[in-house]
Chain A
């Protein structure tokens, strides 16, 4: 199994109040599988994604990625797991405005330890794969929303990260563009055998998902 999260709890301390955001979530994801996670606003989707993405530490519960138990107490260990196993796609794209499309991906590869010409080749490969062969040297400000999200998808796919996590990847895109990005995303994930977890409100995501999970009040239903 690519990802196994078992009995995840997460509480936040808001002043004197303890907010229970996740109340024992268990989920798993296989390579080549596309799962959509739906739920009302505030139900804990982003929190869950952050925990399986090794960005947040769960209050209790266990995250195992490719048979490796993640020691969530150690920041350096979390960063290493992110470098090695995980690619992210954000609602706001989060591209570096001063870097071209190609450089954005190269830089992410550099962080993951892929350097020089190898990084350049891989960046080029994924950009071509998402249909941006003509836009390699464009700065984000010169790209449309859909194109920016394609760059972000390419960045998540670059390298060999088996687990791709996307938070509302279509929320900032119009319906047609969102649909196109999702189709492409699905095709690439399948083709390259990556596991894909998409958090969303967008009903179009169901169309590309192999499985749909629903969360409410911090529980899967």
Chain B
């Protein structure tokens, strides 16, 4: 087959460049929006996803990992006695003030466990030995704190809730949804720092199942024994912590609107250029009909042009999106482009361009082949 669609498309190079740029612009915009959204949501559950637990026990109605409430720490005994539970520990998650050398006070979010190594947590230790946390008034601090609070080094002291603690290690990638840096300290130290109200109380119980145990059954049994708590599998709790932010803030809607606008911009540009191109090629389409071509033959030409524009525009839009990943990371923003997202945006782009081509379909259907005889 002679590829009239492709040859016509490339015959007018300037127009092709404009079309493809429009598509690429829309594609980049959509990738950045959804990618940033995904990056933010990743932070919303990053600790849940990395801590090596299968079941989480929270106080009743805890909305997400960052907004923890207190309950008696002795509940952990009842969790440990449930068949199928290999181990269970208390976990404190709490915001704490940290005093900076310049006198300012900032927030860090502290995760406190008795034995961090047992839970393979934190997951990305840069410096220091987690076992040392048990030995005294020490803590680990995430490297992202340097950007927020100024440089710091292992061996320095900081006042956390008015107690002097020594920084004995650093981590990477540990930030909350609101990009507050995360610190890690011993469970008992955290309780001491937090004061009287916290004596004998925790915010979470994390549990690891024995090999072969059925998560749903164990979860139900824990719930039965702790009726005043909520019990989640890790996946459920992760999802809940993410959807909290989508539901309670405008970010979900904001992303949706930008993606919609990006899509609209793309459709309008492609529809506009394809339509002008169709108008300029009316006589050629008339000729196609005169020599026996059907409307379908011409629809195929337009559809092929739309798909070519979509594919080229998609590739040209994906490249800058990927190039932005390290730049965004420098600014503290995570841009997550997964294969699933790439596939979804690709399908969306092709659909968008085909939709745009349909604007011209009606015009084509009305072309009178008799126009080939007119001057």
Contact = CB atoms under 8 A, between A and B. Distances in A.
A joins B in a complex: yes
Interface of A: 46, 49-50, 53, 55-56, 76, 79-80, 82-84, 86-88, 90-92, 94, 96-99, 103, 106-108, 110-112, 115-116, 119, 155, 167
Interface string B360-373: 00000000011011
Given A96-B284, A97-B11, A90 B294 contact: no
Interface in B254-307: 283-284, 287-294, 297
Contact of A96 (B4, B369, B372, B375): B4
A50 B373 contact: yes
Nearest to B284: A96
Interface in B109-143: none
A75 to B, nearest CB: 9
Q: Which of B2, B10, B293 has the most CB of A within 10 A?
A: B2
A80 B369 contact: no
B11 to A, nearest CB: 4
Contacts of A91: 373, 375
Interface of B: 1-2, 4, 7-8, 10-11, 283-284, 287-294, 297, 369-370, 372-373, 375
B372 A94 contact: yes
A110 B1 contact: yes
Contacts of A97: 11, 284
A79 B289 contact: yes
Given A79-B294, A110-B1, A94 B370 contact: no
A49 B2 contact: no
Contacts of A87: 291
Nearest to A158: B291
Nearest 9 A-B pairs (CB), nearest first?
A83-B292, A98-B11, A107-B2, A98-B7, A82-B292, A94-B287, A111-B293, A106-B2, A103-B2
A51 B177 CA distance: 73
Contact of B292 (A80, A96, A116, A119): A80
B14 to A, nearest CB: 14
A94 B287 CA distance: 7
Contacts of A86: 292
A29 B290 CA distance: 21
B93 to A, nearest CB: 65
Given A76-B294, A111-B288, A111-B293, A46 B4 contact: no
Given A82-B290, A99-B4, A103-B2, A111 B297 contact: yes
A46 B374 CA distance: 9
Q: Which of B283, B287, B370 has the most CB of A within 10 A?
A: B287
B2 A55 contact: no
B212 to A, nearest CB: 61
A182 to B, nearest CB: 19
B309 to A, nearest CB: 16
A92 to B, nearest CB: 7
Given A83-B292, A108-B291, A111-B288, A56 B370 contact: yes
Given A80-B292, A91-B373, A98-B11, 17 more contacts: A49-B373, A50-B373, A79-B293, A86-B292, A87-B291, A88-B291, A91-B375, A94-B290, A94-B372, A96-B7, A96-B284, A99-B7, A103-B2, A103-B7, A111-B291, A115-B1, A155-B291
Contacts of B289: 79
Nearest to A93: B287
Q: Which of B4, B10, B288, B375 has the most CB of A within 10 A?
A: B4
